[in-house]
Amino acid sequence: MGRKKTNTVYRYFELHEDGTSTCTMPECGKTFKTHHGANLLKHLKRIHEEEYTKVVDLNRSQEENTAIELQNCTNSEIVLRECTNLVVVHGRPFSLMNDTAFQNLISLIPNSEATVNAQAIKDNVKLTASNIRDELVNALQARST
Ligand SMILES: [Zn+2]
């Protein structure tokens, strides 16, 4: 979950800070005034057909992996995540989680053992925040070394 998706087209281009990119295929080295994946892909399609096929296949299998990852989430995990989103993303009050009507709705979701109440969701918010903080710390440390 949460793995960053990268367009494989960038394997064949060097991206420069001034916004241009260079094709790294031997004997090409053509420069473009863009980093835009779709534009660079057009170049592969026109000039480097074999690499174009590889990129399209790889991007497609990345999308399939993401879909499978989502399928592998249990209903309990999805219920917990969506209830957390209700509070964090959509700004609903924690007290909604203790609402009887809301609890009745949640109980209709099959195969979910998630405990949904204000405290459980608060705990999950804390856990999620601390995971994000750890990820950021790790990313920053990786940069500075
Ligand atoms: Zn090229």
Which pLDDT tens digit goes with each residue over 25-41? 999 999 999 999 999 99
Neighbours of 52 (CB within 10 A): 18
- Domains held by the chain: number: 2
DSSP state of 2: -
Give the chain's mean pLDDT. Answer: 88
**Residues 64 and 122 grouped into a single domain:** no
> Has residue 3 been placed in a domain?
no
Confidence of residue 69 (pLDDT cuts 50, 70, 90): confident
> Has residue 2 been placed in a domain?
no
The answer, yes or no, to whether residue 3 has pLDDT greater than 60, is no
Neighbours of 14 (CB within 10 A): 12
Alpha-carbon gap, residue 9 to 51, rounded angstroms: 9
The answer, yes or no, to whether residue 2 has pLDDT greater than 50, is no
Alpha-carbon gap, residue 28 to 122, rounded angstroms: 55
Does residue 14 sit in helix, strand or coil?
strand
> Has residue 122 been placed in a domain?
yes
How many degrees, rounded to 5, is the angle at CA 17 between CA 22 and CA 11?
A: 40
**Residues 137 and 81 grouped into a single domain:** yes
- Residue corresponding to tokens 């053992």: 113
Q: What does the pLDDT average to over 1-15?
A: 75
**Residues 86 and 125 grouped into a single domain:** yes
> Has residue 130 been placed in a domain?
yes
**Residues 63 and 108 grouped into a single domain:** no
Q: What's the CA-to-centroid distance between 7 and ligand 1, angstroms?
A: 17
Q: How far is CA 52 from CA 10, 13, 39, 64, 137, in A?
A: 11, 12, 12, 19, 36
> Has residue 96 been placed in a domain?
yes
Q: What's the CA-to-centroid distance between 41 and ligand 1, angstroms?
A: 10
Nearest of 67, 73, 70, 62 to residue 10 by alpha carbon = 62
pLDDT of residue 145: 62
- Residue 58, domain extent: 8-72
pLDDT of residue 14: 95
Q: What does the pLDDT average to over 140-145?
A: 76
**6 is written with which tokens?**
């990268």
pLDDT of residue 102: 94
Task: Give, as residue ranges, everything with CB less than 5 Å from ion ligand 1.
Answer: 23, 25, 28, 30, 47
Confidence of residue 4 (pLDDT cuts 50, 70, 90): very low
Q: Which of 27, 49, 72 is the last residue of a domain?
A: 72
**Residues 137 and 90 grouped into a single domain:** yes
pLDDT of residue 86: 92
**Residues 37 and 21 grouped into a single domain:** yes
Q: What pLDDT, in 10s, does the model give residues 38-57?
A: 999 999 999 999 999 999 99
pTM: 0.48
> Has residue 90 been placed in a domain?
yes
Q: What's the CA-to-centroid distance between 58 and ligand 1, angstroms?
A: 19
Nearest of 122, 138, 44 to residue 86 by alpha carbon = 122
Q: What's the CA-to-centroid distance between 27 and ligand 1, angstroms?
A: 8
pLDDT of residue 135: 86
Q: What's the CA-to-centroid distance between 96 and ligand 1, angstroms?
A: 56
**Residues 34 and 94 grouped into a single domain:** no
**Residues 41 and 98 grouped into a single domain:** no
